[in-house]
């Protein structure tokens, strides 16, 4: 649906020290996660290409860079590169006391103009393929957050009524799904079972395996409107 777009990626490894357990993940883990994402986006024609990896030791940023904090602002002001078409990814650990279970967050393309310096995706280093988080260590957190970065909402956005996620071919869903079990029908009055295999739900990494054609269309529109691609 949107062939030939290659998104440049700048990956910023925030760590609390030199070891992998300090968040200083290896290049091979980064490449593995980009490969997962490229497979997940293959049907869209969009691919991601690593341009550079930076490494920053800063224990405050590593542990406390939750969304809306001054740490977020400081980290991104220091490290972010490129324009609206450039994906900046930061791996951190988050504040597990303030936000237990937080896996990542992202900025949406339609708000790029409001705060270009904040644009990007922040994920826990534990979510990379082979990372320490059971159920969420398949690299799909990057696929999911980049979905937001490309303009997608959660499949359960808006619940059963109204426009939901603004995508017609994702069945309505009342709330976030957790786990793997197929068959939930949280909006029985609407067509279709819950889209628990969709990358934009909250299912386990191993159970996510699809974006829909309607999501590709929304991504293509967001890319050309806000991220300067495909407008020819
Ligand atoms: N909860 C996070 C968010 O809303 C990410 C969820 C990712 N899910 C996963 N299976 N990796 O952006
Ligand atoms: Zn999300
Ligand atoms: Ca929908």
Concerning whether 145 is annotated as a catalytic residue, the answer is yes
* Ligand closest to the CA atom of residue 152: 2
CA of 24 to the centre of ligand 2 (A): 24
Helix axes 27-40, 140-149, angle to 10 degrees: 60
Indicate if ligand 1 lies below 6 Å from the C-beta of 200. no
Cβ < 5 A residues, ion ligand 3:
164-165, 167, 170
pLDDT tens series, the chain, 232 aa: 666 899 999 999 999 999 999 999 999 999 999 999 999 999 999 999 999 999 999 999 999 898 899 999 999 999 999 999 999 999 999 877 777 788 999 999 999 999 999 999 999 999 999 998 989 999 999 999 999 999 999 999 999 999 999 999 999 999 999 999 999 999 999 999 999 999 999 999 999 999 999 999 999 999 999 998 753 3
CA of 162 to the centre of ligand 3 (A): 9
Q: What is the CA radius of gyration of the chain?
A: 17
- Between CA 153 and CA 165 the distance in angstroms is 5
Predicted confidence at residue 232, as pLDDT, reads 35
Ligand 1 atom closest to Cα of residue 208: 10
- Between CA 210 and CA 229 the distance in angstroms is 23
């Amino acid at each position: 649906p949107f062939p030939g777009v290659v998104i440049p990626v700048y990956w910023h490894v925030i760590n609390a020290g030199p070891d992998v357990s300090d968040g200083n993940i290896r290049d091979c883990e980064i490449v593995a996660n980009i490969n997962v994402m490229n497979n997940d986006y293959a049907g869209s024609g969009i691919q991601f290409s690593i341009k550079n990896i930076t490494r920053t030791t800063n224990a405050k940023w590593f542990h406390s860079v939750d969304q809306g904090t001054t740490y977020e602002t400081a980290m991104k002001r220091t490290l972010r590169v490129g324009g609206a078409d450039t994906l900046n990814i930061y791996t951190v650990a988050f504040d597990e006391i303030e936000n237990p279970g937080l896996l990542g967050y992202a900025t949406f393309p339609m708000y790029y103009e409001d705060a270009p310096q904040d644009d990007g995706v922040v994920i826990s280093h534990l979510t990379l393929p082979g990372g320490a988080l059971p159920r969420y260590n398949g690299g799909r957190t990057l696929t999911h957050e980049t979905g937001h970065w490309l303009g997608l909402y959660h499949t359960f956005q808006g619940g059963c009524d109204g426009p939901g996620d603004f995508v017609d071919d994702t069945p309505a869903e009342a709330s976030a799904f957790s786990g793997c079990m197929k068959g939930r029908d949280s909006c029985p009055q609407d067509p279709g079972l819950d889209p628990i295999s969709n990358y934009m739900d909250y299912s386990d990494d191993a159970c996510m395996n699809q974006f829909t054609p309607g999501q590709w269309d929304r991504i293509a529109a967001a890319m050309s409107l806000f991220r300067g691609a495909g407008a020819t």
